[in-house]
Structure 1
């Protein structure tokens, strides 16, 4: 207990700050999970909304329509305003979007609210993950960078439970109301020191680091290290500069790698399982109530995402992603085999396979790509690279969620599931051959991970590139920093 207490005392500031930022992304989990409410509305004949199957597809996928634009263009907004300010300002329209959906009895207004909440929800994923990576030290970055995925799981589970016990209007209203206190808490969060330095606000950057670090931490040395990394890459707040920097192999290689992992993950049917949970269980022949199964899926994902967060800084990102992808693929193969056999009385097998899939997804394939989004994207292109990755993610999300019901009609659910499993095997191979291990590395070190060589390469020692980390695991007093701020 004494050891944990000492560990927490040294890191409690960045833990509290990260939790405050990470909880905002519960909105994204609500957006993903709200799809089960569409099935609830369709089944309830007392609800005065005539929703067809075509409406179901569009209500599920429409969250990705505006998100395709918000994620691609939010990098310019972040560079101009600052990530923390953007997050705080976006939560209010998201809350109003949820309230609009809850109080409206018109299907077009529900579409509008769905588009607003989707645009903000997926924009938050673009901003928050790199922000947490910039605010956390290397020893806890894996744990704290897992918070967004945990909160997505919490948001999904919340809406699954609400759909099970409340009417859809009350459940939708709750999703909006909880965003107001979160927005108020974000007003006390310091801005990213990286963004402040890039915009010439050195004293504010120093103050931000002092709010994030323990008194024993040498914030002067860390500030100098960040400044040196920015200067070496000729980085400033201009998006045009980031576009030019993206031409460098050391910058575009990690963007391609992280984007490919998101693309493969979505082609593996990740969001189909969560956004079409009720539809999936009904068509897979599961013997249990599909809404209850959805709650079990939410609980399972949350539990194993928390386990992943607690172990990722010890086990590493690479082994978790590879192992998780292989298990996800195997679970999909088992589900497909059962569906092919059309064996009656085995309705528990697809449910068990999906639960194994969800557990494995929560351990690696779910959180690791998001963590790598913040870790592997170099500082010179971090905002632009994050927009590219999440932009491709939401475009693919929209396409897959829109065509999935038609796909199952055309080729059958069993063939679709087997394709999903094969894609996860490909994801495991990509991670095995190209993914470097980022555990324990500072962002300044990781900035040089893909420098050198003719292709995507494993982590390169930054000292070989003429770079030596300016701060480490021992930190002298910050008295000089206090004097500088004064």
Structure 2
């Protein structure tokens, strides 16, 4: 009965969020499609030539395109609205996939790869803050974890399809599945925050009424959102958000979330996902690429699913600290085994890397994306998300491109230990500076970085006044939070 009441009060938010989150499949398929490049090179029926350089550029071109698209996402969100933008940008992504599947020209495969890559990370840049603006505090952790879960599903699906089908059919499926998502997003209410920033109060009220249960105090929530938007002056344009970014309370959380993403990537997450086979072979673990991909993909998916169900109970901050610490220990173990060069314990680095991937799925993977929507203040959320994800993509591209040369220069064992050090630094930074966002409204979190004379400051309870919690929910009992 309790679950039935819980669901009845939140089903509208869950349905709208689920439709939006399906769009993140494109992110997972873009990353996972890298395995298809080797399939193209092995295809005896292809009519075009593919060199080793082409193989590298087909993998990396998606990341290069994403740098520009994520940089432009903030201005595009403010101009069009996040929901409308989502329905627009998925169309060229679907066309790009179909173009890659149908062409017999390498040049058009490059065009399709750039189109899909540009949309891939831009989708996450838009969806994560949009989810935070659409749902209530007590379910925000669960629903905000779903994008990372769908990325894992997309990656694993491509890995499995690559084993069963030709690269053309797999690529075509990646495009076709986007069309029902595009249609579904047309029925999702627009962000009430964006509507209020554009001065559309009646539309914002209708949006909240579509997203909330009839018993919910939508007028009170609308007033809280309006106060959050106007507390730092009107920010209904991209340039005004740029000016608001100079304020300390807006600037500090953007810097913190950006730093968390940089440390996560310097911690070797994508390098390990993309070069797992190289790790295993160097340690004497002889597994074929498909088996490696499926083991890591399945581990990431299972633990991201676990994270989705516990994050609103455990909290973002503890999960990130625990997962970064475990990931650091796993990488230190892997590096130590590689130093020992003992092929008789090849199962140890295999187990250690699987543990690392599991810890990534549990916290290091989803939590930074949740913070992207929760910690960035309302007056600068669009431009802040654009800055964070653009920096993330640049860091991601730099690490993955430099990793092969880095292992030659310093050895795989030293590179692995260096990744472990950055994971440990991430845990320390999180412990010192990250506030707990569980159960807090976006309006309350907006004040968490104002001031900053001390590292430990109680969050203001005055900001809770006028907030109507979801059915049966309560605020967390902690009275002290970390602030930057």
- TM-score category, normalised to shorter length: over 0.9
Match of 1:471 among 443, 459, 467: 467
Map 1:415-426 to 2 at 5 A.
415-426=414-425
- Is contact 1:436-1:459 (8 Å) kept? no
- Is contact 1:18-1:144 (8 Å) kept? yes
Please report how far the alpha carbon of residue 179 of structure 1 lies from its aligned counterpart in structure 2 after TM superposition.
0.6
The yes-or-no answer on 1:461 pairing with 2:459 is yes
Distance 1:240 1:172 in 2: 39
Please report how far the alpha carbon of residue 275 of structure 1 lies from its aligned counterpart in structure 2 after TM superposition.
3.1
Please report how far the alpha carbon of residue 472 of structure 1 lies from its aligned counterpart in structure 2 after TM superposition.
2.3
| Residues 112 and 405 (structure 1), Cα distance of their counterparts in 2 relative to 1, 3 Å cut | farther
Distance 1:395 1:252 in 2: 20
The yes-or-no answer on 1:226 pairing with 2:222 is no
Q: How many residues of Structure 1 are paired with residues of Structure 2 in the alignment?
A: 472
Q: Give 2:184's aligned residue.
A: 185
Distance 2:342 2:108 in 1: 43
- Is contact 1:437-1:459 (8 Å) kept? no
The yes-or-no answer on 1:87 pairing with 2:83 is no
Distance 1:52 1:337 in 2: 36
Map 1:141-156 to 2 at 5 A.
141-156=140-155
Distance 2:174 2:281 in 1: 26
Please report how far the alpha carbon of residue 41 of structure 1 lies from its aligned counterpart in structure 2 after TM superposition.
3.3
| Residues 414 and 149 (structure 1), Cα distance of their counterparts in 2 relative to 1, 3 Å cut | same
| Residues 312 and 11 (structure 1), Cα distance of their counterparts in 2 relative to 1, 3 Å cut | same
What TM-score, normalized by structure 2, do the two folds share?
A: 0.94
Can you list the C-alpha shifts for 1:221-270, whole angstroms capped at 9, x where unaligned? Answer: 10111111112121322111111111111110000000000001111111
> What's the C-alpha RMSD, in Å, of the aligned pairs?
1.8
What TM-score, normalized by structure 1, do the two folds share?
A: 0.93
Distance 1:47 1:409 in 2: 33
Distance 2:318 2:157 in 1: 30
Can you list the C-alpha shifts for 1:89-137, whole angstroms capped at 9, x where unaligned? Answer: 0001001111122222332222221111111011111110000000010
Distance 1:142 1:51 in 2: 44
Map 1:315-334 to 2 at 5 A.
315-334=314-333
| Residues 244 and 376 (structure 1), Cα distance of their counterparts in 2 relative to 1, 3 Å cut | same
Can you list the C-alpha shifts for 1:343-399, whole angstroms capped at 9, x where unaligned? Answer: 223332222111101110000000000000000000011000000000000111122
- Is contact 2:128-2:372 (8 Å) kept? yes
Distance 1:69 1:82 in 2: 19
> Which secondary structure state, in structure 1, belongs to the residue aligned with residue 29 of structure 2?
helix
Can you list the C-alpha shifts for 1:200-226, whole angstroms capped at 9, x where unaligned? Answer: 111111111011011111101101111
Map 1:378-397 to 2 at 5 A.
378-397=377-396
> Which secondary structure state, in structure 1, belongs to the residue aligned with residue 448 of structure 2?
coil
Distance 1:280 1:120 in 2: 30
Please report how far the alpha carbon of residue 19 of structure 1 lies from its aligned counterpart in structure 2 after TM superposition.
0.6
Which sits farther off after the overlay, 106-115 or 200-209?
Answer: 106-115
Please report how far the alpha carbon of residue 191 of structure 1 lies from its aligned counterpart in structure 2 after TM superposition.
0.2
Distance 1:114 1:474 in 2: 43
The yes-or-no answer on 1:21 pairing with 2:50 is no
Distance 2:147 2:194 in 1: 20
> Which secondary structure state, in structure 2, belongs to the residue aligned with residue 254 of structure 1?
helix
Please report how far the alpha carbon of residue 439 of structure 1 lies from its aligned counterpart in structure 2 after TM superposition.
0.6
Can you list the C-alpha shifts for 1:258-300, whole angstroms capped at 9, x where unaligned? Answer: 0000001111111122233445444443222221120121111
Q: Give 1:427's aligned residue.
A: 426
Structure 1, unaligned stretches of length 5 or more?
476-486
> Which secondary structure state, in structure 2, belongs to the residue aligned with residue 440 of structure 1?
coil
- Is contact 1:22-1:148 (8 Å) kept? yes
Distance 1:73 1:474 in 2: 35
Distance 2:364 2:418 in 1: 17
- Is contact 2:277-2:287 (8 Å) kept? no
| Residues 190 and 101 (structure 1), Cα distance of their counterparts in 2 relative to 1, 3 Å cut | same
Which sits farther off after the overlay, 290-299 or 23-32?
Answer: 290-299
Distance 2:232 2:377 in 1: 10
- Is contact 1:258-1:372 (8 Å) kept? yes
Distance 1:15 1:150 in 2: 15
Distance 2:465 2:228 in 1: 10
Distance 1:49 1:328 in 2: 42
- Is contact 2:300-2:357 (8 Å) kept? yes
Distance 1:210 1:436 in 2: 30
Map 1:157-172 to 2 at 5 A.
157-172=156-171
Q: Give 1:355's aligned residue.
A: 354
Structure 2, unaligned stretches of length 5 or more?
472-484
> Which secondary structure state, in structure 1, belongs to the residue aligned with residue 343 of structure 2?
coil
> Which secondary structure state, in structure 2, belongs to the residue aligned with residue 472 of structure 1?
coil
Map 1:145-294 to 2 at 5 A.
145-294=144-293
Please report how far the alpha carbon of residue 333 of structure 1 lies from its aligned counterpart in structure 2 after TM superposition.
1.3
Distance 1:163 1:447 in 2: 45
Please report how far the alpha carbon of residue 43 of structure 1 lies from its aligned counterpart in structure 2 after TM superposition.
4.9
| Residues 474 and 270 (structure 1), Cα distance of their counterparts in 2 relative to 1, 3 Å cut | closer
Q: Give 1:480's aligned residue.
A: none
Q: Give 1:399's aligned residue.
A: 398
Distance 1:355 1:414 in 2: 17
